Amino acid sequence: MPAIIRVEGLTKKFGPITAVDGISFEVEEKTIFGFLGPNGAGKTTTINILCTLLNPTSGRAFVNGFDCKTDSRMVRSSIGIVFQDSTLDKDLTAYENLAFHAYIYGVKKAEVKPRVEEALRFMGLFDRKDDLVKRFSGGMKRRLEVARGLIHRPRVLFLDEPTLGLDPQSRSHLWEMIVQLPKEHGMTVFMTTHYMEEAEVCDALAVIDGGRIIAAGSPDELKRSMGGDVIFLKTTDNAQAKRKLEAALGVAPGEEADELFFAAPRAEELVPAVIRALSDAVLSLRLQKPTLNDVFLKLTGRQIRPEEVQGADSIKEELRAYRRRH
Amino acid sequence: MTDVNAIYVIVMRELKKFLRERSRLVSSIARPLIWLFLVGAGMSRLVSPRAGMPYTQFIFPGILGMTILFSSIFSSISIIWDKEFGFLKEILVAPVRRSSIVIGKALSGTVVSTIQAAIVLMVFPVIGVKLSVLQVLLTIIISLLVAFCISCFGIVIATFYESYESFSVIMNFIIMPMFFLSGAMYPVKLLPAALRVASKLNPLTYGVDALKNTVFTSPLKSGPMGPDFSFGADLAVIILSSALFVVLASGFFERKQ
C-alpha cells in the first residue's frame, strides 16, 4: 500500500518552545491512523503543518504526494479538516455552512445541492438543514463539521480530537460514522485523540509525547510489545515489595496510583512465585490483558488523564502570548 | 475558476448575514442620518452660510463618506470575529489564493457599504440638495470605489488583531480620527498645518473630496467650502491606495509562522 502521508524529521519551534521534535512517520492509504498522546504533546501542531496552516522549522511533510510547504494549494485541495475548536459560522444555517464549503472548494454549481444533502443525510442532520448553527448542540456541531469535511471528497480527512467535549452517546454516534469512511468513501482518516478506547479502533497508531514519537504500530502490536499480561499488586510496603520482586523474579515493577505493576509472558504462572516472594505483604493482586493505557504508562511513566487538559491550556496560552509578542 | 467561486461565496455570506441582522442594517442607516440632521442642524446656526450653502448641505458628502467608512471597516474587521470564532481557519485551509480571500472580503465590504451609502444618498431632496440622475449615478460609482479602498484598508488593520477586544481601540484610534480628518466636517484647507498633513495621508480624505466634487455644483465648487483637490487626483489616490492595500493585506494573510 502506498503512503498517502509521509513525514520526515519534522520539527516545529515556537521561539524557545519545541512543539514537534524531529518526528517521522507514514500513513497508509484508506486506513484510520491515530496520533495518541497527552495534550500539549505536539499533535495539533503536526496537524497544522500537514494542513499547511504552519510552516515547519525543519523537516518535510507530504500529503497525497504534495509538499506541505511548497505545494500548499494542492495539499489543501486533497484534504478535509475538522479542527479541535469549532470553525462553523453560527449565524448561518447548516445547509449554508456546507454550501459555502462546497463553493470555496470549487464544487460545480449543479453538484452543490446533491452533495450537501448527501453529507447531511450521512451524518444524520438532514432534517435540521435549515436551522441556524447557533441552535445546534455540541454533538450536532461536530457531526456537521465532519459532514462539511466530506463535501469535496478529500483523500485525507484530518480529525483533531473529534470527540472532545462530547457526551458518550454523541461520541459513539460520531464514531460509527468515522469508521465507515475508509471503506465506503475510500478516505484516509488521520486523527488525534487522548481517549484510549478511540485509539483501539485505529489501524495504526503513533504514540507522541513531548514532541517525539515514542512508539508506533497497530494497537495489537503495541500491546504485544508489553511482553505479556500485566500484574497489578497492592502491598503493605511498596518500596520493600519492589526490592523483593526484583531479587526473586528479576522484574522491575513500575508504580502508579499506589499499585505496583509489571508485565510478563505467561503472567498467570508467575502468581504463586509473587505470593511466595512477598508472603503477607500482598493486599491484593490482579491480572490484566495489557491496554493501550498500560502501553502509554510503560512508555512515559504516566497516564493520559483528562485533567491534563488544564496543563495543555496553559501551554496554549504560553504560545499565544509568545505569538502576540512577536 | 475556483477563485471566482470563492470570491462569490465570501461576498454572498456577508450579504446574507447583513440582511439577516436587521439591527445592524437599521443602526448603520440611522447613524449618518443622526449626524446629518442633529449635528448638521446645530452647526448650521454656528457656521454662517458664507459659501452660499447651509452647513447641512456642506457635510452631506462627508456623511456619505462616514457611512462608507463605518460600514466598510466594520465589515472588514469581522475578520477578527472570524478569527476568534474559528471560521477564518475554514477559509484559510481552502484551496484558494490568499489574494482571492482578501478581494472577496473587500468586495463584501464594498457591496454592503454601497447599499447603505445609496440609501443615505436618497435623502438629498430633504436637505435641499439638487442632484441630476447623472450625479446620483456618479456618486454611487464613487461610493463603490471608496468603499473598496476603505474595506481593503480595514483588512490590513484586521490582520494585526487577534481578538475582538481590540474593537474599541480601532474605533477610537482609527475610525474616529479618520472621520474627523477626512474633510467631512470642515474643509481640509482650513485645518492647521499639522492636521492638514495628517488629512492628506488619510485615504478617506480623497473619497470625501471626490464625493464633494460630484455633489457640489459649479459656483460652490470653487468657493472656500468646495473640494480641496481635483477630481482626477482624488480618483488616482483612491485607486492607487486600493491596490497598495490589497497587496499589503494579501501579504499579511500569507504570513505563516
Is A11 a domain residue?
Answer: yes
Cβ of A91 within 8 Å of Cβ of B17? The answer is yes
Q: What is the pLDDT of residue A310?
A: 42
Residue of B nearest to A47 (CA): B93
Q: Is A182 found in the same domain as A207?
A: yes
Residue A303 is classified by DSSP as -
How many CB pairs lie under 8 A apart between chains A and B? 76
Residue B214 has pLDDT above 80, yes or no: yes
The answer to whether the Cα torsion of B149, B151, B152, B154 is positive or negative is positive
**Chain B hits for A190, Cβ within 8 Å:** none
* A99/chain B closest Cα distance in angstroms: 9
For residue B51, pLDDT over 80 is answered with no
Residue A313: CB partners within 8 Å, gap ≥ 6?
A39
Averaged pLDDT for residues A21-26? 95
Min Cα separation B172/chain A (Å): 21
Inspect the interface and report whether the beta carbons of A103 and B8 lie closer than 8 Å.
Answer: yes
Cβ <8 Å between B13 and A83? no
Is A10 contained in some domain? yes
**Mean pLDDT over residues B129-154, rounded?**
95
**pLDDT value for A307:** 46
Test mutation, A104, A133, A325, chain B, max B CBs within 10 A: A104
With bands split at pLDDT 50, 70 and 90, how would you rate the model's confidence at A317? low
- Which positions in chain B touch A48 (Cβ < 8 Å)? none
Q: Judge whether B6 is closer than 8 Å to chain A, CB to CB.
A: yes
If asked whether residues A282 and A162 sit together in one domain, one would say no
Instruction: Please indicate, yes or no, whether the overall pTM of this predicted structure exceeds 0.80.
Output: yes
Q: Give the residue extent of every domain in chain B.
A: 2-254
Instruction: Say which residue, A167 or B120, is predicted with more confidence.
Output: B120
A101 or A287: which carries more pLDDT confidence?
Answer: A101
Looking at residues A303-308, what average pLDDT do you find? 55
Q: Are A104 and B6 an interchain contact pair (Cβ–Cβ within 8 Å)?
A: yes
Please state the domain count of chain A: 2
Helix axes B98-121, B60-76, angle to 10 degrees: 150
| Mean pLDDT score of chain B | 90
Mean pLDDT of A2-17: 92
Residues B206 and B229: beta-carbon distance below 8 Å:
yes
CA atoms of B250 and B152, how far apart (whole Å): 10
Whether A118 and A147 map to the same domain: the answer is yes
> What 3-state DSSP class applies to A42?
coil
Binary contact (A92, B8; C-beta < 8 A): no
In angstroms, what separates the C-alpha of B221 from chain A's closest C-alpha?
46
Shared domain check, A256 and A282:
yes
Interface predicted TM-score (ipTM) of this complex, two decimals: 0.87
pLDDT for B235 equals: 97
Q: Which residue has the higher pLDDT, A82 or A303?
A: A82
Last residue of a domain, one of A219, A237, A268: A219
Q: Are residues A11 and A29 in the same domain?
A: yes
Give the pLDDT confidence score for residue A100 in this predicted structure.
96
Instruction: Evaluate if residue A71 carries a pLDDT over 90.
Output: yes
Selecting from A53, A96, A106 the residue whose C-beta is nearest the C-beta of B93 gives: A53
Q: Shortest CB distance from B91 goes to which of A85, A88, A104?
A: A104
Q: Is A136 near chain B, with CB under 8 Å?
A: no
A294 or B94: which leads in pLDDT: B94
The verdict on A18 touching B (C-beta cutoff 8 Å) is: no
Are residues A136 and A19 both part of a single domain? Answer: yes
* Domain span holding position A121: 3-219
Q: Which amino acid is at A189?
A: V
A232 in the same domain as A213 = no
Among candidates A91, A100, A324 on the partner chain, residue whose Cβ is nearest the Cβ of B20: A91
- Is residue A326 predicted with pLDDT exceeding 70? no
For residues A294-320, average pLDDT? 62
What span, in angstroms and rounded, lies between the C-alpha atoms of B47 and B105? 40
End-to-end CA distance of chain A: 43
Q: Measured between alpha carbons, how far is residue B38 from residues B30, B32, B83, B180, B184 in Å?
A: 11, 10, 37, 17, 15
Which has the minimum average pLDDT: A22-31, A48-57, A223-232, A315-324? A315-324
* pLDDT, mean over chain A: 87
Q: Are residue A75 and residue A180 in the same domain, yes or no?
A: yes
Chain A residues 53-72 with CB within 8 Å of chain B: 53-55
Report the pLDDT averaged over residues A14-24: 93
**pLDDT tens-digit readout, A72-122:** 999 999 999 999 888 999 999 999 999 999 999 999 999 999 999 999 998
In which band, very low, low, confident or very high, does the pLDDT at A64 lie, cut at 50, 70 and 90? very high
Select from A219, A253, A277 the last residue of a domain.
Answer: A219
Section A62-70 average pLDDT: 94
Span A231-249, average pLDDT: 87
Chain B, 172-231: which have a CB under 8 Å from a chain A CB?
none
pLDDT of residue B142: 97
Q: Indicate whether A206 and A235 sit together in one domain.
A: no
Does residue A163 register a pLDDT over 70?
Answer: yes
* Helices B22-34, B2-20: crossing angle, 10 deg rounding: 70
**Is the CB of B89 less than 8 angstroms away from the CB of A53?**
yes
- pLDDT surpassing 50 at residue A308: no
- Whichever domain contains A117, its CATH number is 3.40.50.300
- The CA–CA distances, whole Å, from B130 to A3, A118, B100, B217, B222 equal 71, 56, 40, 9, 18
Quote the pLDDT of residue B253. 81
A315 domain residue, yes or no: no
On whether any CB of chain B is under 8 Å from the CB of A108, the answer is no
Q: Are B95 and A87 within 8 A, CB to CB?
A: no
Distances (CA, A) of A76 to A308, B3, B195: 31, 14, 48
Could you tell me which chain B residue has the CA closest to the CA of A14? B257
CATH value at residue A255: 3.30.70.260
Residue A315 has pLDDT above 80, yes or no: no
Which tops the pLDDT comparison, B221 or A282?
A282
Interchain proximity B95–A76, CB inside 8 Å: yes
Residue A309: predicted pLDDT: 46
Gap between the Cα atoms of A51 and A213, Å rounded: 19
Is a pLDDT exceeding 70 seen at residue A318?
no
Last residue of a domain, one of A188, A219, A250: A219
Reply yes or no on whether the pLDDT at A306 is more than 80. no
Given B9, B95, B96, which is nearest A100 (Cβ)? Answer: B9
pLDDT of amino acid B23: 86
Q: Does residue A64 share a domain with residue A154?
A: yes
Of B5, B16, B256, the CB nearest to A106: B5
Chain B residues 69-108 with CB within 8 Å of chain A:
85-97
Question: What is the band of A39 on the pLDDT scale with cuts at 50, 70, 90?
Answer: confident
- Least confident window among A310-319, B73-82, B88-97, B177-186: A310-319
